[in-house]
Every structure is written in C-alpha cells, then in structure tokens.
A and B are shown apart, each in its own frame.
Chain A
Amino acid sequence: MSILDFFFPKKPATAAVAKERLQIVLAHERASRDGADFLPLMKKELLAVVAKYVAVKEDMIRVRLGRDGSASILKINVEFESPRRTARAMGA
C-alpha cells in the first residue's frame, strides 16, 4: 500500500462486478437455451410425482438447468406448506 492509496482510496474492482453479473445472466440464458426441449415436460411429470405425496401447486416447483465450469447442474426447488398444516389441510 503506497501513501497515495491512503489519501485516495481505490474504487472497488469493477471486473469482479462484471464477472458476477455475467455468471448470473449466462446461467439464465443457458438454462432457457439448453432446457427448451425437455424442461417443461419434466417439470410437469415431477409435479405429478411430488403431488402424490405432498400438497403442491404448479407455481411451487421450479426447475432450472445451470452450469458450473464444465458440469451441468439441474436445480429442482419444491416449496410446500409445513407437513402439519398440510396434513390438517388434507385431513379436512
């Protein structure tokens, strides 16, 4: 650290911001690109299976295809109400 850095602190590195923004936007774009064929159907089938055991609605399941380096990652996110409330709801 030089004396100039003390008086005029450096601005945060913008390259890191660029990298992060790119990684986010490309994850989205790759997901819609690679997954256009089978993702909607898979989502529907997954929903049918999950719905057999817990009460879920269509907007509670999210399926995303991402990439980490050379590996593809399939992220399935299912939200449902807590089991007790679900059980009560189903019992009613």
Chain B
Amino acid sequence: MGSISSKKPGQVIVVTSGKGGVGKTTTSAAIAAGLALRGHKTVVIDFDVGLRNLDLVMGCERRVVFDFINVLNGDAKLNQALIRDKRLETLYVFPTSQTRDKDALKSEGVASVMAELRDGFDYVVCDSPAGIERGALTALYHADSAVIVTNPEVSSVRDSDRILGILAAKSRRAELNQEPVKEHLLLTRYSADRVANGEMLSVDDVKEILSIPILGVIPESESVLKASNTGTPVILDETSPAGRAYDDAVARFLGEQREMRFVVPARKSLFRTIFGRA
C-alpha cells in the first residue's frame, strides 16, 4: 500500500454536515489517521478558508509554511505545502489559509490541485467548513464519497438532510451524470443512556429520517477534548470509546463488517438496578 506512481486514482472523501460544531474536523482527523494507520497514503485538507483549525487538531500548527491558497495562486508547489505527520508515515496535512478573502478558492485551481492529489494519494479527506457557502460547496464538489457528520439533535439532522440534497444536485458526480456520491452517516456525540431514556434521537431514528447507511456511532466522550488539547487525532487513543468507535467506522468504510458498539447503555450500577433510574 501507499504506492507512489502509476497507481489507481485516489478516492476523495468529504466530511461535511451543514451545521457547525458537530465534529467535522475531529472526524476528518480521525478518519484520515485511521486510513493512514492501515497503510494507505492519505492527505487531509482543510477547506475552511479563513478559519484554519485542522492544523491544531492534527498538532502541526507550528509547521505550517505554505497553505492551500498559496498553492492555488502559484506561490508554492503542492509538496511544499503538504505537512508530513510525525506519527504516521503515510499521513499528510494540507492546511488552509487564514485569509479573509472568501473568494480565494477558485474552482479551476482547486480542480487541478485535487487531480494532483488523486494521483499522489490513496485517499484525499476533505474537511468541509460549516454552512452551504462556497467553501462547503467546493469541499463536496470533488467527492467520491461523503461522511455526513450528524448529532442526534433536530437542527443537525435537518442540516444534514439539506447537505444530502446539495450533494445529490451539485457535486461533480451529479454534474457529470456519474454514479452518485456514496453517502455515509456518522452520528457523533451519542449518548446511549439518554437515548434509552427517550431524551435523544436514536441511531435508528436518524437512519430512518435521513435514509442513508450508517458508518458509525461515536459516543460523547471526554477523550475528544483531551485529544484536541494535545493535537492528537482521537483515533490514536485506543483506550477511549470515541477512538475505538472511529476505528470501527474506518474499518467499515474499507468494507469490514463490525458490530455497532456504544449504542446500548453501559452496565448499570447497583443503585440504578434497584431504583430503575439514576
């Protein structure tokens, strides 16, 4: 794996949601690291122009020299802007720019950069900004598959539905009348206890409403904050429930069958067994 030349073109995965704050960057970092862990040559790109954050989550913020916009403007070569991860040999980070110019992402330029990345990598993970503006549209345009990050909560589910509509209508695959972008639902910040109490939409509820296949359920977990504090993709924390759930999701993405974990409440304490609730 991780061959360089004359390989088949890499697959582009967009991590998107519509709504902000649901865990797109955490997910992009985790999925990219998970793919790289399995030996696939992977690059993760920050499409959130003006609000660069993937570099922090990946822990390479002090190594950014050139960015996406520098490459688009011809001020730097692609390989000058790519940052090699210090933990995983086959993982690269492509940071975005801090510019306030919202039109900095020119579509022709992006297309040629994406083509170059497809040639050089097995997987190209695109971390989309929130919203349905240019950055988000550009991030999803080139996708072969999409990971729709959704919280079990009304506004997030609604926005995910909206993004699914845009994927079906405005992606490159849609424009070229090709096979549609493959959709995957990833539920994050899931609390099996609250679902059991009827306070939170369940996996099945969200699956039924959005009617797309489920890639994984990531439990609400303290380890996500700890991971971003230290700039480590949470999937590298094998002891954390969120890390294990992301590992399952990556395995499923690659075609493995894995049973869904963290969707039923953890074993109850003696107190809860006696009193029926806590």
Contact = CB atoms under 8 A, between A and B. Distances in A.
A29 B157 CA distance: 13
B158 A25 contact: yes
A19 B162 contact: no
Given A4-B276, A15-B198, A22-B154, A29 B161 contact: yes
A69 B208 contact: yes
From B202, B209, B274, residue with most partner A Cβ within 10 Å: B209
B162 A29 contact: yes
B209 A23 contact: yes
Interface in A36-85: 67, 69-70
Nearest to B169: A33
Interface residues on B, range: 20 to 34
Contact of B205 (A4, A15, A33): A15
Contacts of B199: 13-15
A52 to B, nearest CB: 35
B161 A30 contact: yes
A26 B198 contact: no
Interface in B190-207: 195, 197-202, 205
Interface residues of A, number: 25
A13 B165 contact: no
Contacts of B230: none
Contact of A4 (B198, B211, B275): B275
Given A21-B154, A22-B158, A67-B211, A2 B276 contact: yes
A51 to B, nearest CB: 33
Nearest to B209: A22
A72 to B, nearest CB: 11
A25 B277 CA distance: 33
B161 A19 contact: no
A16 B161 contact: no
A13 B196 CA distance: 10
Interface string B162-196: 10010000000000000000000000000000010
A18 B198 CA distance: 10
B18 to A, nearest CB: 12
Given A29-B161, A69-B211, A15 B276 contact: no
Contacts of B154: 18, 21-22
12 contacts: A2-B274, A2-B277, A3-B275, A4-B276, A10-B197, A10-B277, A12-B198, A13-B197, A13-B198, A18-B201, A18-B205, A30-B165
